Amino acid sequence: MPLLWLIGIVLAIAVAGYVIGRKRALDSAGGDPRNLHSLPSYYGSNVAMKVVVPSVLVLLVWLIVQPIYVGSVVSGALPDRAIADGSSRDLVMAEVRRTADGLNNAVAQGIMTDEEARDMRADFTDVTQRLKDAGQIVTSEVTQPILNAAQQFRAMNATGAIAMAIVVTLLAIGGLLWGLKESEKDFRARNTVEQGVKALLIAAASIAVLTTVGIVLSLIFNTYEFFKLYPWYEFFFGTTWSPSFSGRGGSSELGIIPLLWGTLYISIVALAVAVPIGLFAAIYLSEYAGPKVRAVAKPLLEVLAGIPTIVYGLFALLTVGPMLVSVFGKEGLGIMQSGTAVMTAGLVMGIMLIPFVSSLSDDIINAVPQAMRDGSYGLGATKSETIKQVVLPAALPGIVGAILLAASRAIGETMIVVLGAGAAARLSLNPFEAMTTVTAKIVSQLTGDADFASPEALVAFALGMTLFVITLGLNIFALYIVRKYREQYE
Amino acid sequence: MYDAPHYTERDVAQTDTKISAKGVQVYYGDTHAIKDVDVEIADKTVTAFIGPSGCGKSTFLRCLNRMNDTIDICRVQGDILLDGEDIYDRRVDPVQLRAKVGMVFQKPNPFPKSIYDNIAYGPRIHGLAKNKADLDVIVEKSLRRGAIWDEVKDRLQAPGTGLSGGQQQRLCIARAVATEPEVLLMDEPCSALDPIATAQVEELIDELRRDYSVVIVTHSMQQAARVSQKTAFFHLGNLVEYDDTSKIFTNPEDPRTESYITGRIG
Ligand SMILES: Nc1ncnc2c1ncn2[C@@H]1O[C@H](COP(=O)(O)OP(=O)(O)OP(=O)(O)O)[C@@H](O)[C@H]1O
Ligand SMILES: [Mg+2]
């Protein structure tokens, strides 16, 4: 609540600054906006910016640093005797935090007074019982050292919060004064605000980039941990995937090849379904269909893209699988054992990908200028000649991009595989056999109750890393293709 | 939409009329862009269309090879006969028609292919070349006629879209010539050309006249006077005057024509 108040105060100062700054600038120009360097609103924005930016930045930093600082001080002050055998400083600190929270809540509910919470002693009062009475979660007896630490923790946090409120408000007021001082007619408010907007955009971009870097680093770090426990050559070149579920059995075989093969096989089947159908649908929609058909068919096709993949998974499991079995199974050709197979998952995934291919390709084909088609028709070409020889080549880079995007989706798809292709990691050429993919195995390795430090769990990061590298490679390849064709065609 | 005509026998007198348009109306949605135009375009002559911007020259030109079919909102009424046959007849295939009536567009529109493939596009589609050597000959000849051979002969495999605006315009002329059409419609073919290239294109037009009929839209009075034998003056969708070029430029009948060629309207 105080935090909300603080933000409210800063914003109120900013709004006031906007109004006053605008007015001051106008007054300095004798009330005639034409005498100002910038539009009046820029002067207002400049003041608001000077109020908000420094104070909010400090607020953010404070919010991050204070808990770390307080935590380390309190934990440093914990006497060694407070840490029981078989426990650790971190566990005790968690206890301290919980107690402090409990005290806070008890005070907020009016069960304890603030002084009580601050001064009481575990040996005089039954703190544990009182906290329990107040409905707080207390896992073990609150001892005196823990209570002391919790009290210190509360005190430091309270002081910190007050100091933060004061500093932030002062900064906001300082910014207000600074901005107002600048608000006179020759000040280049527009340029300053433009700089501010630019900085904001750069900040947003850096956050996006830094997050990516962070994710990749965490992947790399955990993958490294995994390779400390499991030899990398067995991971990359092993042809068997059979993790032992007991966890530390040491008998796990974690070869990625069968998983990669399954991923590849299912993706190829999916693309073999999605690319021709999607592309032809796109050509029909953009070149042949009348506006009425287009207006109905395009959104309908895009509905396919909105269906959650778990629904596709159900469709694979309950409809497509049994249907395939009735044709290729024992009753029919006898080459399919059960409904879960590469073919089932591939077909359904292909259906899921159709709208990706068709919708993107349709937009790209539509973007080919009419003048290009006219040129071809003007030379006596038919519609299909024009499409084949002028429109599609011109749209090719985009279409390749669309296909590769669909391929990335196929490689990353999980739900359909889990339900449609089964969980058996197998190296086989028969598309009617059950296989599984990298993503499906990541899920099954992490959803068990294996210890997160065991190779059986850490392998998920190595799998994820491999997948990431493959998709990245695919995207770079897509860019390369697109660029190459663009050079040729522009 | 279009009233089917009832010409059963081949048109009688005018053996040297290539295209004959009667009562042509063109609408873009509700806009009436061409109002009741009658024109007879003679064979083996150059006909110039002149008139202020937006008066409907391009629109009318596009009627002559049914390029307006590609515009959804465009409706064409009236009769247009090519060699006495109605080109808007149901039985006429617009694809074949366009092979006979070629077109150079107002805006250059080279394909995103190599220069060679741009020129070879038409001949390949219509099977004009028996083999690669044949095609090479056609490509070279067309590029020469388009007055661009010297500039591109060393980079035939470079993309056509990489040429300058004026070069693209000549590439499109060469591309249209390569299919050997009987009628060539040229919409401002020299708008982006320097005087030397313009002179070369005009020479080409003059040469084409020996075998074909050429219709050219131009904003340059001098060019119309230089290359054409007949001139049609359009104004606000009407064909105001159509006569021998010499007559139009020396002794126009309509006061609007006179003000336009002397630079008072448009
Ligand atoms: N595709 C179209 N859709 C709607 N209206 C059009 C279209 N093309 C042309 N028009 C209209 O038809 C009229 C004639 O246009 P047109 O292009 O034939 O003029 P123009 O004589 O060729 O002009 P310019 O000399 O500038 O090329 C104009 O009023 C124009 O706005
Ligand atoms: Mg025009």
Distance from CA of B98 to the nearest CA of A (A): 5
Q: Which residue of B has its CA nearest to A490?
A: B161
Between positions 149 and 188 of B, the ones with CB within 8 A of A are: 159, 161-162, 172, 175-176, 179
Residue B50 burial (CB count, 10 A): 29
Quick check: is B49 in a domain?
A: yes
DSSP 8-state assignment for residue A245: T
Contact A128, A120 (CB under 8 A): no
Q: Do the bridges between strand B183-187 and strand B213-217 make them parallel or antiparallel, or are there none, so unpaired? A: parallel
Residue B1: the pLDDT is 44
CB-CB neighbors (< 8 A) of B113 in chain A = 393, 489
Helix (H) or strand (E) holding A95: helix A89-109
Residue B11: the pLDDT is 39
B64 has pLDDT over 70: yes
Residue A69 burial (CB count, 10 A): 13
Quick check: is B86 in a domain?
A: yes
Quick check: is B38 in a domain?
A: yes
Ligand 1 and B31: CB distance under 6 A: yes
Quick check: is B131 in a domain?
A: no
Distance from CA of A277 to the nearest CA of B (A): 26
Cα(A304) to centroid(ligand 1), Å: 41
- pTM for this model (two decimals): 0.74
Strands of B31-42's sheet, edge to edge?
A: B31-42, B17-28, B74-82, B85-86
Banded model confidence at residue B123, pLDDT cuts 50, 70, 90: very high
- Which of A291, A377, A393 comes nearest B113 by C-beta? A393
Structural domain for B203, as ranges: 11-108+183-261
Q: What are the distances in angstroms from CA A334 to CA A326, A347, B43? A: 9, 19, 73
| Strands (DSSP E) found in A60-186 | none
- Amino acid B191 reads S
Quick check: is B171 in a domain?
A: no
Q: Does A380 touch chain B (CB under 8 A)?
A: yes
Tens of each residue's pLDDT in chain A, 490 residues: 578 999 999 999 999 999 999 999 988 888 888 888 888 899 999 999 999 999 999 999 999 999 999 988 888 888 877 777 767 777 888 888 888 888 888 888 877 787 877 777 776 667 777 777 777 777 677 778 888 888 888 889 989 999 999 999 999 999 999 999 988 888 898 999 999 999 999 999 999 999 999 999 999 999 998 898 888 888 888 888 888 765 555 677 888 899 999 999 999 999 999 999 999 999 999 999 888 998 998 888 888 888 998 999 999 989 998 888 888 877 777 777 788 889 999 999 999 999 989 988 998 898 888 899 999 999 999 999 999 999 998 888 888 888 988 898 899 888 888 888 888 888 888 888 888 888 888 888 888 666 777 888 888 899 999 999 998 888 888 888 777 766 555 4
CB-CB neighbors (< 8 A) of A389 in chain B = 111, 121
Q: Do the bridges between strand B74-82 and strand B238-244 make them parallel or antiparallel, or are there none, so unpaired? A: unpaired
Ligand 1 and B57: CB distance under 6 A: yes
Quick check: is B55 in a domain?
A: yes
CATH number of B250's domain? 3.40.50.300
Residue A450: the pLDDT is 64
Instruction: Tell me the pLDDT of chain B averaged across its residues.
Output: 89
Residue A365 burial (CB count, 10 A): 21
Banded model confidence at residue B7, pLDDT cuts 50, 70, 90: very low
Map residue B211 onto helix, strand or coil.
Answer: coil
DSSP 8-state assignment for residue B114: B
CA gap B228, B221 in Å, rounded:
10
CB-based contacts of A348, cutoff 8 Å, min separation 6: A312, A313, A315, A316, A320, A416, A420
CA gap B216, B222 in Å, rounded:
13
Map residue A323 onto helix, strand or coil.
Answer: helix
The closest-lying atom of ligand 1 relative to the alpha carbon of residue B106 is 27
Q: For Cα atoms B104, B109, B111, give the angle at the middle one, nearest 5 degrees.
A: 115
Task: Identify which of A402, A412, A417, A414 has the alpha carbon closest to the alpha carbon of residue A466.
Answer: A412
Quick check: is B136 in a domain?
A: no
CB-CB neighbors (< 8 A) of B96 in chain A = 380
CA gap A398, A401 in Å, rounded:
5
Q: What are the distances in angstroms from CA A317 to CA A305, A331, A424? A: 19, 19, 15
Q: Do the bridges between strand B230-235 and strand B238-244 make them parallel or antiparallel, or are there none, so unpaired? A: antiparallel
Task: Identify which of A305, A300, A278 has the alpha carbon closest to the alpha carbon of residue A363.
Answer: A278
DSSP 8-state assignment for residue A390: I
CB-CB neighbors (< 8 A) of A382 in chain B = 95
Contact A48, A21 (CB under 8 A): yes
Are residues A376 and B159, on separate chains, in Cβ contact within 8 Å? no
Quick check: is B224 in a domain?
A: yes
Sign of CA dihedral A187, A191, A196, A199: negative
Q: What six digits make up the tokens of B126?
A: 């219509």
Pick the ligand that lies closest to the CA of residue B53.
1
Are residues A488 and B95, on separate chains, in Cβ contact within 8 Å? no
Task: Identify which of A343, A338, A324, A348 has the alpha carbon closest to the alpha carbon of residue A415.
Answer: A348
The closest-lying atom of ligand 1 relative to the alpha carbon of residue B73 is 3
Counting the structural domains of chain B, the total is 1
Among B27, B50, B53, B57, which is best to mutate for testing ligand 1, by the most ligand atoms less than 8 A from CB? B57
